[in-house]
Amino acid sequence: MRMKFSHGVHPPELKALTEHVRIRRLPFPDEVVLPLSQHTGKPAKPIVRVGDRVERGDKIAEADGFVSSPVHASAAGTVAAIELWPHASGVFQESIRIAVAPYDAQVPRKRIIPDWRGLAKEEIVEQVRQAGVVGLGGAAFPTHVKLVPPKDTTIDTIVINGCECEPYLTTDHRTMVEYPDRVHLGTRLMMKTLGVDRAMIGVENNKPDAIERLQATIPEDLKGKVTVHGLTVKYPQGAEKMLIKSLLNREVPSGKLPMHVGVVVHNVASVATIAEVFETGLPLVERIITVTGPGVRRPSNLIVPVGTMTKDLVAACGGLTDTAREIVFGGPMMGAAQASLDVPVMKGTSGVIVLTDAEVKPQQSYPCIRCGHCLDACPVFLNPQILGQLALYERYDEMNEHHLQDCMLCGCCGYTCPSNIPLTQLFALAKAQLRRAPKAA
Amino acid sequence: MTTPRLLITAWPHLAERDSTPRIMWTVNLTLIPVIAAAIYFFGPSAVLVLAASLAGCLGTEWVFKGRAALADGSAVITGLLLGLTLPPGIPMWMAFVGGAFAIGFGKIIFGGLGQNIFNPALLGRAFLQAAFPVALTTWPVIRENWWALRGDNLALPLMSPREVDVLTSATPLGLMKFEHQATGLGKLLIGATGGSLGETAAIVILLCGAYLAWRNYLNWRIPVSIFLTVAALATLTHAINPAYPGALFMLFSGGLMLGAVYMATDMVTSPVTNRGSWVYGFGIGALVVVIRLWGGLAEGVMYAILLMNALVPFINRATQPTVFGTRTAKETT
């Protein structure tokens, strides 16, 4: 039985620039900037002072509560400042700036790497938490939280998200092709902690080499328990709810989480990172990232220290072309444009895309002609047409009645609108306005 | 490396290449074969009538919205479609007035593109039908001489058309309704019958419609549900009373093809939901059959569509999509 989610859009894939480019390691930059808020939840609290010498992998900020995550030094050096710095969210945020020690071997401190075979569930979760692992797909939700489901929920399936449905990005693709064993080890650890014996890896069919590699490397004892599934190439196949619908034909109830239908979804890169933590003992201090787009001279897949600034990334990729005009963190469908080349890569930054004048040419907006294309695109079956009209008149409360809160801002409506109405932007704005001024009860 | 002046825009940073003007101009392009068929059958009269209604539409749009508004191509659609619904012999000034009314009272008065409730071209035609009933129901027959005008196209404004020496005849629907005389299907298919400029060439219209549906520039559900409804009801009535025409005649006569493919599918005045499109198409089909069989008019497509246009807001409201996860949310609570 072939299942898939309904609606969605088919943007050009644009992955050819980097999909077969081997991951290479970036030399350490002169400086790294580590924001205290790289994850969903409360920002971490710094535990170092300006002038302190730190080694690579040292914890420099402690998690503040359960839904939070610690931050580690991604390079050896001295703490140059703890200050406000340009952040990928578009505002300045408290960050720890480390001047990287030149000519340093960048060898992390010796540490005991516990053997996962001998660890209890709780100990594995604690290791993941201490390593500062968060979702690497973009939302950066602390991973350990998803490994401890509430008592009243039963999880029967782990879904590993290798869809990478965003155009341009090849981070997950290369991870699956080059580190399939890590994906399987991470999956095994998750199955162990959650006590689940079924894991499904979903990969879009435009990555046949990844599907093949993953299938060929499933460990003997996991055969039958871990399965790899090729999925229709359609955006947003990698959205949690869509992926669960495609793989299991379960519909996550409105306002609920995947665990309410017995599923936990993890990004494939996060899973590989968990494995890495137990292989090397190093916390999450580096990640794989795609630097691509027509505005960069040498599109690449890179392993970079978390906190590497955009200018260093771009320089490592041959620099910007003369027509480069917009720098996007994440995919082109949901990524945020950046105002400065000083913005550092964070744990959840899956790609840096440089667009040129040709792609970002402002388009004239026309009135809505009620073509209904947005309704056919919306993967959660909203009516973006009526929502858009309401948003233009700032009737935000009425938008809630039209299920605005079910909108995941995936960008399908804005992508498809022939009148170039910035629907997705209007909905993001409406949500922000509603959060700011909650309706008086 | 110099830092470029970075641009900040909201996501998504990709957009489909379709644009509103592109949709409008594509529709216009697909009308070319239909117009060509009209010119083939009705000669220079077709050119004159279409030019006049186009001038009425574009002129009005230009006066109220400025030259830039003409570029989106929507006024051209209205002008061409209005012209195609008119009889070939109509005086040019009437066609011009119809065009001006279509844009002025069909569109501008509501606030311009995207705001109107009724299909502007059909509103223009309804106005002409009410104002000049004789001119709108005079159907010249196919002439031997292609170059001859099919009526007094050049009548002076506000003058009644001269009695010109043209043979007129009823349309196939008129023949059927008032004289119980059927027209052969072959003639209907190619359009070699009396009627409005675009009441002919059913096959050409269908092919153009299929192309537009493939491009997703029209919602195929609308014409399909109209055709299915008309065919089903005609078959039923024909079975009960053989004096009523059968399904094929009903489908291929009159303005049904042009109406179902080009008028009913006007994005602005048709439902936004797919479920609603089925309801809307069913309503049009049913009304067409009712008006044709039991109404005082031979043809009912125009009023059927206009009536259903008025119901579109209600159809939209009643056919909102079921939001993902709301069904399961109800089950779990």
Three-state SS at A265: strand
Closest residue by Cα to residue A291 from A266, A320, A322, A334: A320
Would you identify the CATH topology of the domain A116-280?
Rossmann fold (3.40.50)
Residues B131, B79 share a domain: yes
Q: In this complex, which of B4, B16, B274 lies closest to A416 when CB atoms are compared?
A: B16
Chain A residue closest in CA terms to B9: A337
What is the residue-wise DSSP string for B229-243?
HHHHHHHHHHHH-TT
Whether residue B7 and residue A253 make contact (CB cut-off 8 A), yes or no, is: no
Residues of A in contact with B328 (CB under 8 A): 251-254, 261
Is the residue at B117 inside a domain? yes
Partners of residue A363 in chain B, C-beta under 8 Å: 15, 19
CB distance A375–B323 less than 8 Å?
A: no
In a domain, B3, yes or no: no
Is ipTM beyond 0.90? no
**Residue A45 pairs with which residues in a beta bridge?**
A62
- Please indicate, yes or no, if residue B330 is contained in any of the structural domains: no
Q: Are residues B30 and B138 in the same domain?
A: yes
3-state helix, strand, coil in chain B (%, to 5): 60, 0, 40
Contact A252 B325 (CB under 8 A): yes
The partner residue sitting opposite A370, judged by closest CB among B13, B267, B322, is B267
Q: Residues with Cβ < 8 Å from B106, sequence gap 6 or more?
A: B78, B116, B118, B119, B120, B121, B123, B124
CB contact under 8 A, A366 and B19: yes
Pair B165, B226 in one domain:
no
Residues B84 and B220 in one domain: no
Q: Which two tokens stand for residue A186?
A: 């991470």
Considering the domain architecture, whether residues B150 and B218 belong to the same structural domain is answered as no
B280 found inside a domain: yes
A129 CA: distance to closest CA in chain B (Å):
31
Testing the interface with B: which of A371, A382, A401 to mutate, by most B Cβ within 10 A? A371
Please answer whether residues B263 and B199 qualify as being in contact, where contact means their C-beta atoms are separated by less than 8 angstroms. Answer: no
Where in chain A is CATH 3.40.50.11540?
116-280
Q: What is the CATH number of domain A25-99+285-359?
A: 3.10.20.600
Of A363, A380, A385, the CB nearest to B323: A380
Rounded Cα distance, A227 and B238, in Å: 59
The answer to whether the Cβ–Cβ distance between B1 and A375 falls below 8 Å is no
Residue B7: inside a domain, yes or no?
Answer: no
Q: Where in chain A is the domain with CATH 3.10.20.600?
A: 25-99+285-359
Decide if B64 is inside a domain.
yes
**Would you write out chain A's pLDDT as a tens digit for each of its 441 residues?**
456 888 999 999 999 999 999 999 988 999 999 999 999 899 999 999 999 999 999 999 999 988 999 999 999 999 999 999 999 988 999 999 999 998 888 888 888 788 888 889 999 999 999 999 999 987 889 999 999 888 888 999 999 999 999 999 999 999 999 999 999 999 999 999 999 999 999 999 999 999 999 999 999 999 999 999 999 999 999 999 999 999 999 999 998 999 999 999 999 999 999 999 999 889 999 999 999 999 999 999 999 999 999 999 999 999 999 889 999 999 999 999 999 999 999 999 999 999 998 888 878 899 999 999 999 999 999 999 999 999 999 999 899 999 999 999 999 999 999 999 999 999 999 999 998 876 544
Contact call for A403 and B326, based on CB within 8 A: yes
Nearest to A11 by CA among A301, A424, A416, A436: A416
- Please count the structural domains in chain B: 2
Closest residue on chain A to B312 (Cα): A370
The range of the structural domain enclosing residue B32 comes to 19-169
